[in-house]
Structure 1
């Protein structure tokens, strides 16, 4: 699987100098009356923001002008892609007009 960026020195780049120093982060404990000593530590990591976009771009062989520009007017002129789904008592059609617009028709 894909690991997050910046987990070791090779992905963070090179450093130069004679001494590599580490910094110890210290959060003092504090007393809350009636609850004893309390302290909390949180390490929050977020994935790179363009993960899904990179996967989409790598999956496509060649991008069209419409893919690059993402103009709603151009997507409005594209023929809709329709999918019909039949269940025993309900049937509905999904019509994808643009990347962000879906029509659902229940019959």
Structure 2
């Protein structure tokens, strides 16, 4: 099994979080399977199947599962942080611009 540091997980999931708008699962598959080669296609499908039956957003569940698989609790935190940090910063920036110029 490939080993990944929390930093590598953060970067991979940051690419996913910043690439997709709306449904990001196709971007997740492209990044994790084709570009970064973290998972095989079969592994991705298997993990996604589990994530779809757990309550919550599928992509966040996927980040937790993959992060914990490769880096335990630190990996899960890094993957979720990478997935959400960029979009949250953009929304905060847009809100600040809106309140400043309105």
Superposed pair shares fold, TM > 0.5:
no
RCO comparison, higher one (Cα < 8 Å, 6+): 2
* TM-score in terms of structure 1 length: 0.23
Larger strand proportion, structure 1 or 2?
Answer: 1
Report the structure number with the largest CA radius of gyration: 1
